[in-house]
Amino acid sequence: MGEIGIPQAMRVEHREIHERLVAATRISGPVGAAARQLATILHPHFEREEEIALPPLGLLAPLSRGEYHPDMLQVLSMTDSLRAELPRMLEEHKAVQAATLHLQQAADSAGNAEVADLAQTLALHALSEEQLFYPAALLAGEVVRMRAGLATSAASR
């Protein structure tokens, strides 16, 4: 078992969103200003997700096949941190959603379909994280904990 890592699809999606947002920050006027505001909010959030919320997803495939290896225990520090930080991360999503809506409105007003599409992509991405990825990451930690014969985390009882 190697290092626990972010699934490739998620790494690519995060990188593409980041690159598209960086490009949007270089646009002049209200669209660029809205993109810069969003980037300021989003960057530290993305970094923390890539530290604690997304790597556990790399265990989903092996865990779904019934696999377990003691190296998987390293995921527990991530999922315990995610569980503890989840309320704050969800609050950050509210700020991201507001900044994304502002970007969407600025892009629509400017007739910039590419940036408007970025805003829609980002809004859907955040929703996917809330509804799928964060819960799946927490479940991955709980499955590892159970397979290791450890007590479940207090917050999940």
pLDDT surpassing 70 at residue 151: no
Domain contains 134:
yes
Domain assignment present for residue 153? The answer is no
| Structure confidence at residue 149 (pLDDT) | 87
Reference 80, options 26, 12, 154, 6; nearest CA is: 154
122-138: average pLDDT: 95
Q: What domain count does the chain have?
A: 1
**Residue 23 confidence (pLDDT):** 97
Residue 154 lies in a domain: no
Alpha-carbon distance of 62 to 13, in angstroms, equals: 22
In this predicted structure, what is the pLDDT of residue 68? 92
CA 34 – CA 26 distance, rounded (Å): 11
C-alpha 78/C-alpha 52 separation (Å) is 5
| pLDDT beyond 90 at 3 | no
For residue 92, the enclosing domain spans 8-148
Say whether pTM exceeds 0.85.
yes
Burial (CB count <10 Å: 0-12, 13-18, 19+), residue 106: buried
Mean pLDDT across the stretch 84-112?
Answer: 96
Q: Is residue 156 in some structural domain?
A: no
